[in-house]
Amino acid sequence: MKWLRQHKWTLIISVLLFLGITNCQNLDQSKHSLSYSSYQIPSDKIDTPIRILQLTDLHNSEFGEDNQELIDRIASQSPDLILLTGDLLNSGEPVTEIATNLISSLCEIAPVYLSLGNHEIEYRDNFGTDITQLYQDAGAIVLEHQYRDITVKGQSLRIGGIYGYCLPDKYLETEEADLSECMFLWDFENTDRYKILLSHLPIAWLKNDALEEWNMDCVFSGHLHGGQVILPGIGGVYAPDMGWFPGRLKGVFDSKDGKRHLVLSAGLGNTEVIPRFNNIPEIVCVDLVPEGGW
């Protein structure tokens, strides 16, 4: 005890220095490192595996010069499709080159399908720029309340994109749902093809039974940044539109019958006042596989 009393300030300073160094390392990793999250999603509509890479919420971040580290990581996975689910840029910065250069490079790896996020919508309003055209010129297929029927490795897919909350049509009675969104989704779900929807905002899919009500095979989403700050044993601290300690912030979430899936990515960048902490930027890899495995 005498030794502790004599050296308590040395111990306190040492602990604080250790925590400070650890936190700095964590902040750096949460800004500059990259992680993979890999999932297999089975379906009786799939006969041959299809690999999908999802990126979301880049927010003008760069991983290596000209995002070369990110591009190399994507290429190493040999994806059949690359899905970008919005917020590639920041709405308040007149900068588009980081996003468009990345899109151009990704298009050399695999077909790129893209849906808009709130930052693209706000950017268009703030600067009067046709961001959809910029993304298309870079090579992406931009799906803004649109869909494409495609064939990948002999598999029939329908890929669509929407920016909106996608509340189920039962919410039309209370005027909470948007009729134009419902009309698009009614049309989109009317097919026997495997349906992939790019939907930046995940809230209705998580909280308002959208995954139960809409007949989608797989929805890809982002927006929540994984909770921005992740506390050990507690999880994400805050998410846009969901408030404090919202719980489900990343991963794959299934409908009650296990037939429909939400793939929610923590994304790559951030625009919050508080930086990402204990929250390494994420590349999502999804393998669509036949029911019963491959």
Its domain, for residue 80, covers 33-290
* 20 within domain boundaries: no
**Arithmetic mean of pLDDT, 109-119:** 97
Burial class (CB in 10 A: 0-12, 13-18, 19+), 54: buried
Q: What is the pLDDT of residue 71?
A: 97
* Domain assignment of residue 137, yes or no: yes
**What pLDDT is recorded for position 197?**
98
Task: Decide if 140 contacts 112 (C-beta within 8 A).
Answer: yes
Are 238 and 229 contacting, i.e. CB atoms less than 8 angstroms apart? yes
Give residue 57's pLDDT: 95
Instruction: Give the helix/strand (H/E) hosting 40.
Output: strand 35-43
Counting the structural domains of the chain, the total is: 1
What pLDDT band is residue 9 in, cutting at 50, 70 and 90? very low
User: Does 258 fall in a domain?
Assistant: yes
The tokens for 120 are 């693209």
CA distance 120 to 40: 30
Rounded Cα distance, 38 and 29, in Å: 20
- Residue 160: inside a domain: yes
User: Of the candidates 284, 164, 151, which has an alpha carbon nearest to the alpha carbon of residue 214?
Assistant: 164
**Mean pLDDT, the chain, integer:** 87
Asked if the model's pLDDT at residue 17 lies above 60, the reply is no
Domain CATH number, residue 166: 3.60.21.10
Q: Which of 8-12, 19-23, 233-237 has the lowest mean pLDDT?
A: 8-12
Confidence at residue 5, expressed as pLDDT on a 0 to 100 scale: 45
272 — pLDDT class (breaks 50, 70, 90): low
- The reply to whether 163 falls in a domain is yes
Give the residue-averaged pLDDT of 163-171: 91
pLDDT for position 294: 64
Residue 60: pLDDT over 70:
yes
Question: Is residue 5 in a domain?
Answer: no
pLDDT tier for residue 168 given thresholds of 50, 70 and 90? confident
